[in-house]
């Protein structure tokens, strides 16, 4: 994980979404080609978007596009380690380009994952929209003319949109096939658990007040024998398809708790929880058993849940989290500000922390409106006695902003990348 920080350096070209425009993408492609390195592109469109506009009104359609832009940004920031750029290519089309080495299979897996995120329901004041995203993919060479790259993607997307069964299509004419079938990947995952291919890395977290190390967030990776390193997003997409989320989550929790047991006593461990985990009948019992087996003190554990948890059975999720909280476990609402924040959730869940999505901190420099929103959220968190964690802190200016505005903790590439268990233990002992 020594890649440079990812970024979305788009000027605010598109008034509706704040993303760049087609021209921004053309210029960026030319720049990257001059510098060299591998370029991947992905153009997303939605089948029958006009029908959504008709059914819900154009204001709801616009709100959906803003949400799509937000999900796209969030996806790129989490999944792409190199430089990237997201733009709105007119209407309801969005283009994502990335400048990082990555296999064809990994780019296709990432695209599948993005489409799954974009297909999730979008709640607007006029109703809930369900979009059917399609994507065209391409790997560009230095010899490709930027305009022809976008044209080829556009033509491929047109074809994909006309066909009902096909969600992804490669623009280079090669068949849309992964080197491995979906069924093979699912089978690989089951073996991966036993073969030790699933790794947990730890990203340090710090106190804003004095910059001291306070703990780490556990993040999963899959060292796939053929595809190379896959991120947690791809890993969980495959696990969900194969119905193995509970098994995978248990495996990751065990590895993380075992590692954290060897840390200095004052450090906390944060674990990510998926909606599928919480929907299960006895997640709290299984976790309690693991905590006992690994002899980790429950009050040193934080569980990070996202708002997605609340799209399912909220009462059940609140009950399970409530039972965990009574054991001393703390709960953080993750990626806050990434989607439509529904403040009602804050009253439903037993929360201790709000973890601001990195887009919240990222947008603030240069935007008085974004700063006002950040201040309002932090004031609300204070009123509810929640601590606020800033994530994705990449610059000293962002760290100062987070500290100055009242965040209690921060995490980000500025101070540390995720590192393997041995490296984190060493880091913890020397900090
Ligand atoms: P998340 O929970 O928001 O995790 C933070 C992500 O941001 C991590 O990506 C981390 O590497 C990245 N990150 C940290 N600092 C910075 C920064 O300064 N700049 C930028 N651009 N990125 C930063 P990662 O590890 O790829 O994880 C992506 C998402 O996958 C996570 O987002 C989380 O939702 C999910 N995830 C990761 N590990 C697990 C897991 O063990 N279980 C579950 N259920 N989900 C996981
Ligand atoms: Ca998290
Ligand atoms: Ca997050």
Nearest CA to ligand 1 atom 34: 272
Whether residue 162 is contained in a domain is answered as yes
pLDDT at 64 over 90: yes
Same domain for 133 and 272, yes or no, is no
Q: Please tell me the predicted confidence (pLDDT) of residue 10.
A: 44
**Does any ligand 1 atom lie closer than 6 A to the CB of residue 284?**
no
Q: Assess contact for 319 and 309: CB atoms under 8 A.
A: no
Note down the domain range covering 97.
22-170
Same domain for 390 and 256, yes or no, is yes
Same domain for 162 and 190, yes or no, is no
304 CA closest ligand 1 atom index: 2
pLDDT at 6 over 70: no
Best of 233, 272, 275 for a ligand 1 pocket test (most atoms within 8 Å of beta carbon): 272
**Rounded distance from Cα 47 to ligand 1 centre (Å):** 30
Q: Assess contact for 4 and 35: CB atoms under 8 A.
A: no
Whether residue 6 is contained in a domain is answered as no
Same domain for 203 and 333, yes or no, is yes
Question: What does the pLDDT average to over 44-50?
Answer: 93
pLDDT at 370 over 90: no
Helix (H, G, I), strand (E, B) or coil at 19: coil
**Does any ligand 1 atom lie closer than 6 A to the CB of residue 78?**
yes
**Cα gap 405→398, rounded to integer Å:** 10
Q: Please tell me the predicted confidence (pLDDT) of residue 1.
A: 32
**Cα gap 160→178, rounded to integer Å:** 17
Q: Assess contact for 370 and 363: CB atoms under 8 A.
A: yes
The DSSP call for residue 5 is P
Nearest CA to ligand 1 atom 38: 219
Give the helix/strand (H/E) hosting 41.
strand 39-46
**Does any ligand 1 atom lie closer than 6 A to the CB of residue 214?**
no
Q: What is the CATH number of the domain that holds 116?
A: 3.30.70.270
* Domain termination residue (choose one: 170, 201, 221): 170
Q: Please tell me the predicted confidence (pLDDT) of residue 340.
A: 63
Q: Structure pTM? A: 0.76
In 310-352, beta strands by DSSP E:
330-336
**Does any ligand 1 atom lie closer than 6 A to the CB of residue 418?**
yes
1 CA closest ligand 1 atom index: 11
Alpha-carbon distances of 36 from 39, 100, 414, rounded to whole Å = 9, 10, 26
**Does any ligand 1 atom lie closer than 6 A to the CB of residue 220?**
yes
Q: Assess contact for 20 and 31: CB atoms under 8 A.
A: no
| Of 51-55, 161-165, 220-224, 288-292, minimum mean pLDDT range | 161-165
**Does any ligand 1 atom lie closer than 6 A to the CB of residue 337?**
no
Same domain for 191 and 315, yes or no, is yes
Question: What does the pLDDT average to over 256-278?
Answer: 96
Count of domains for the chain: 2
Nearest C-alpha neighbor of 87 from the set 36, 143, 28, 39: 28
Same domain for 67 and 125, yes or no, is yes
Instruction: List, in sequence order, every residue forming a beta bridge with 391; answer none if it has no partner.
Output: 411
* Domain termination residue (choose one: 170, 202, 234): 170
**Cα gap 261→296, rounded to integer Å:** 6
The residue whose two tokens read 């948890």 is 309
Q: Assess contact for 135 and 111: CB atoms under 8 A.
A: yes
Determine if residue 97 is left, alpha or beta; phi over 0 gives left, psi from -120 to 50 gives alpha, anything else beta.
Answer: beta
């Amino acid at each position: 994980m020594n890649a440079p920080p990812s970024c979305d350096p788009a000027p605010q070209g598109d008034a509706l979404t704040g993303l760049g425009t087609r021209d921004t993408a053309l210029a960026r492609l030319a720049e990257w080609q001059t510098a060299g390195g591998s370029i991947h592109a992905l153009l997303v469109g939605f089948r029958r978007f006009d029908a959504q506009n008709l059914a819900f009104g154009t204001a709801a359609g616009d709100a959906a596009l803003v949400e799509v832009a937000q999900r796209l940004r969030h996806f790129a920031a989490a999944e792409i380690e190199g430089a990237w750029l997201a733009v709105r290519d007119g209407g309801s089309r969005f283009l994502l380009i990335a400048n990082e080495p990555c296999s064809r299979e990994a780019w296709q897996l990432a695209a599948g994952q993005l489409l799954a995120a974009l297909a999730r329901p979008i709640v607007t004041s006029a109703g809930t929209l369900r979009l059917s995203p399609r994507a065209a993919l391409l790997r560009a060479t230095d010899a490709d003319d930027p305009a022809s790259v976008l044209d080829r993607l556009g033509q491929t997307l047109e074809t994909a949109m006309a066909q009902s069964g096909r969600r992804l299509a490669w623009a280079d004419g090669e068949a849309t096939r992964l080197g491995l079938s979906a069924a093979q990947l699912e089978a690989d995952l089951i073996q991966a658990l036993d073969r030790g291919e699933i790794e947990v890395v730890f990203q340090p977290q710090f106190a804003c007040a004095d910059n001291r190390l306070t703990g780490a967030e556990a993040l999963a990776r899959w060292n796939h024998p053929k595809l190379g390193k896959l991120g947690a997003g791809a890993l969980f997409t495959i696990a969900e398809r194969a119905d193995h989320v509970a098994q995978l989550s248990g495996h990751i929790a065990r590895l993380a708790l075992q590692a954290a047991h060897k840390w200095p006593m004052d450090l906390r461990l944060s674990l990510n929880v998926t909606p599928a985990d919480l929907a299960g009948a006895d997640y709290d019992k299984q976790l309690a058993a693991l905590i006992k087996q690994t002899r980790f003190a429950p009050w040193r554990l934080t569980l990070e849940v996202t708002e997605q948890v609340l799209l399912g059975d909220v009462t059940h999720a609140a009950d399970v989290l409530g039972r965990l909280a009574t054991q001393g476990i703390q709960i953080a609402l993750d990626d806050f500000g990434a989607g439509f924040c529904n403040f009602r959730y804050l009253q439903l869940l037993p929360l201790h922390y709000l973890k601001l999505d990195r887009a919240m901190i990222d947008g603030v420099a240069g935007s008085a409106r974004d700063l006002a929103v950040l201040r309002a959220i932090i004031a609300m968190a204070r009123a509810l006695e929640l601590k606020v964690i800033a994530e994705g802190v990449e610059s000293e200016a962002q760290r100062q902003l987070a500290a100055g505005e009242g965040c209690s903790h921060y995490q980000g590439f500025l101070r540390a990348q995720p590192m393997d268990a041995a490296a984190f233990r060493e880091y913890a002992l020397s900090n």
